[in-house]
Amino acid sequence: AFLARLEALEPMLHAFLTRTPEAALAEAEEVDRRRARGQELHPLAGIPIALKDNLCTRGVPTTAGSRILEGFRPPYHATVVERIAGAGLPVAGKTNLDEFAMGSSTENSAFGPTRNPWDLERVPGGSSGGSAAAVAAGQVPWALGSDTGGSIRQPAAYCGVVGLKPTYGRVSRFGLIAFASSLDQIGPITRDVTDAALLLELLAGKDPLDATSVGEPVPEYARELRPEARGLRIGLPVQYFGEGIARDVRERVRRAAERLASEGARVKEVSLPSVEHALACYYVIAPAEASSNLARYDGVRYGYRARPGGRPPRDVTEMFLRTRGEGFGAEVKRRIMLGTYALSAGYYDAYYLKAQKVRTLIRQAFDRAFQEVDVLVTPTTPTPAFRLGEKTDDPVEMYLNDICTVTINLAGLPAISLPCGRDGQGLPVGLQVIGRPFDETGLLQAAYAFE
Ligand code: GLN
């Protein structure tokens, strides 16, 4: 049923870059066979899932939305893919994204944008726009995204679904095509909080192949959910309810918090000084790390290599230059240039090092806030989904979209976006809950109370 719906809606949405219906059906049949034989099955076996196309899948094309990886078939699975395969979840395909996960709308995909299922003239958000659109449209019940500065939560908000970014280190990044390694995390996109909890259980935990993954025990997140707001201490950071956030969006989120207050939660305003610098800080650190991570795409090791158009390249340097010139899109080039500049001798202290110091101040502001409250609640995005093409000419306009989400990656915290009603035009509004490091249990519990 899911595969039929996927195929029927795909011409409208373009949520997928690669579809793998045969493999998915074979897996589903294998699960059926095992069940019939009375063999033991993982509790999640048989639930179809889609994977963002920056997750390596053995033998299956993995492009990261870029021409430069055209034709690349990884020889191995990402650790999260290994776990999904091990549990018997049929993989329906690989979803569209902004090139190398750089963007907020999927319009930076080299293979054309995805459309928002609620309004086909609008973007689904990004960079995990394909994953969020596929779940919202019922092409698959579950998907994986990655989140460097909001790429799970922002598209979840725009598409009216649930998106969870775990604490940095909670989920292995092995096999995730790196954008900004100190910010990237993989996480679930689902229709509700319980599903997010179930899927996180499968993904989380220490991985010897990722030295930044952490060995904290993984609780049974879903089993611990209670529809209970009593005693929950919620902070509303004033910085995220002011100018620049659409009134409709602010009002929805405030009203949701008031409802929980009426059910026994304690809601108060808090202040997070220094978060006003988060966007500037992120757009130094993320491009700096990206410029280093993307140095490996040289036409030698994988994917695209510039072919002699007329005359062969003079030497290997020219081959590198032409491969990168033709293989990368405009936004990726912009970030490589910004990042290379910020890291270069003489500028490193002024930009990268300074941004790292600001990052520490941001983390400290959160640590202080969490002495008084259990979770923080903000809008996920300043506005609901915008129109295709509306912001493509103005990168700074596009970056401003990330104002509520990038802060969380800088601080390494877990956060979830969940649907919070509709705006005046009927578009989904997202509410973001932010938790203490490695307290996904508390985070999911609070989100469940909001749901
Ligand atoms: N939109 C942000 C950016 O362009 C975040 C992307 C992401 O989380 N991968 O960097």
Q: Please give the C-alpha separations between residue 35 and each of 40, 42, 46, 221, 440, in angstroms, as whole numbers.
A: 7, 10, 10, 25, 32
Instruction: Report the C-alpha gap between 177 and 179 in whole angstroms.
Output: 7
pLDDT one-digit tens code per residue, 110-123: 999 999 999 999 99
Whole-number Å distance, alpha carbon 151 to ligand 1 midpoint, is: 5
106-139 burial, b at 16+ Cβ within 10 Å, e below that, comes to bbbbbbebbbbbbbeebbbbbbbbbbbbbbbbeb
Q: Which two tokens stand for residue 212?
A: 């930044």
Q: Ligand 1: does its nearest atom lie under 6 Å from the Cβ of 127? A: yes
Last residue of a domain, one of 310, 327, 350: 350
Q: What is the mean pLDDT of residues 219-229?
A: 93
Whole-number Å distance, alpha carbon 64 to ligand 1 midpoint, is: 13
Given a cut of 90, whether residue 311 has pLDDT beyond it is no
Q: Ligand 1: does its nearest atom lie under 6 Å from the Cβ of 149? A: yes
Q: Is 344 a catalytic residue?
A: no
Evaluate whether residue 356 is within a structural domain: no
pLDDT class of 308 with cuts at 50, 70, 90: low
Does this model's pTM top 0.95? My answer is yes
Do 287 and 335 touch, CB atoms closer than 8 A? yes
pLDDT class of 227 with cuts at 50, 70, 90: confident
From 109, 131, 151, 172, the catalytic residue: 151
Evaluate whether residue 418 is within a structural domain: yes
pLDDT class of 307 with cuts at 50, 70, 90: confident
Q: What is the mean pLDDT of residues 232-244?
A: 94
Degrees to nearest 5, angle at CA 278 with 273 and 283: 165
Identify whether residues 446 and 308 lie together within a single domain: no
Whole-number Å distance, alpha carbon 172 to ligand 1 midpoint, is: 19
3-state DSSP assignment of residue 274: coil
Q: Please give the C-alpha separations between residue 76 and each of 59, 185, 188, 338, in angstroms, as whole numbers.
A: 8, 19, 21, 32
Q: In the chain, how many domains are there?
A: 2
Identify whether residues 416 and 378 lie together within a single domain: yes
Q: Residues near 397 by Cβ (< 8 Å), separated by ≥ 6?
A: 391
- 308 DSSP assignment: -
141: containing domain: 1-272+361-451
Q: Is 127 a catalytic residue?
A: yes
Identify whether residues 299 and 378 lie together within a single domain: no
Q: Is 105 a catalytic residue?
A: no
Identify whether residues 53 and 164 lie together within a single domain: yes
**% of the chain with per-residue pLDDT over 90:** 92
Q: Ligand 1: does its nearest atom lie under 6 Å from the Cβ of 402? A: yes
Decide if the complex's ipTM is over 0.95: yes
Identify whether residues 16 and 60 lie together within a single domain: yes
pLDDT one-digit tens code per residue, 243-279: 889 999 999 999 999 999 999 999 999 999 989 999 9
Q: What is the pLDDT of residue 310?
A: 61
Last residue of a domain, one of 318, 350, 382: 350
